[in-house]
Chain A
C-alpha cells in the first residue's frame, strides 16, 4: 500500500532562517507531488506541483522553492523565512492519470517568530 511521510510535524523558526521540509512517498512510482499551504481552518492554496524528477511548477510567487531530486521525494525550501511564511504546509501525491485524487501527509505547522 502507498504511504506518504512528511516531517517535521511542527517547526518554530526565526525570521531570516532557512527552511527545509521533506516529503517522501512509498509504494508507488512516478506520482504527481504537491505542496499546499492552508490558512487556519480554511481551504488549500497550491504552492508547487511536480509531474516528475526536476519538473516543478510554481503556482504563486513567493519566498519558497521546491525541488524533486528523486522520484518519490519532494522538498520545500526557503533561504530566508518571513513572518508571512507561517502556516500549515501539506504535501500530497496522486497518480499521474485518472481522477487525480490526492493523498496527504500529516502536515507541518510552521511558526516563524
Chain B
C-alpha cells in the first residue's frame, strides 16, 4: 500500500518566520502535487513536480521533489497570515489506475 506521510501535522509560527513541511514515502511516484486548503473550501493546486531533484518556486514558496521521487518538501520564506491553511501533498500512482495518493496534511497557522 502506498502511503504519504506529512510532517509536521500542525505548525504555529509568527509572521516573518521561515518554515519547511515534508512529504515522505517509501514508494516512487511519477509526479507529486501540493495543494492548499482553507477552511470550508476545496483544496487548490499550488504546484506539480515531475522530475527527480526538481525545484519550483511560487513567490515565497519553494517546492522540491526528491532525487528518487519518493519525497518532497515545501519551504515558505517570511510567512504571512495569508499562508495559513492546510497543506496537502498528493502523489500520482504510476500504475494503471493513475490514482492520487494523499497525505494527511500539515495545518499551518501564521500569527500576526
Contacts from A to B (Cβ < 8 Å): 6, 41-44, 46, 49, 90, 92, 99-107, 109
Contact = CB atoms under 8 A, between A and B. Distances in A.
A46 B102 CA distance: 9
Contacts of B30: 99
A71 to B, nearest CB: 19
Nearest to A45: B102
Interface residue tally on B, bucketed by range? 20 to 34
Contact of A41 (B31, B41, B99, B107): B107
Contacts of B104: 42-43
Interface of B: 30-31, 33, 35, 39-45, 48, 50, 86, 88, 90, 92, 98-100, 102-105, 107
A99 B31 contact: yes
A90 B103 contact: no
B42 A43 contact: no
Which of A42, A90, A99 has most B Cβ within 10 Å?
A99
A106 B31 contact: no
B65 to A, nearest CB: 12
Contacts, number: 53
Contacts of A103: 45
B103 A100 contact: no
Given A100-B100, A107-B42, A41 B92 contact: no
B36 to A, nearest CB: 11
Contacts of A101: 33, 45, 48
A105 B40 CA distance: 11
B86 A41 contact: yes
B99 A43 contact: no
A100 B45 contact: no
B41 A49 contact: no
B45 A44 contact: no
Q: Which 8 pairs across A and B sit closest by C-beta, in order of nearness?
A: A104-B42, A43-B104, A99-B31, A44-B102, A43-B102, A107-B42, A99-B48, A43-B105
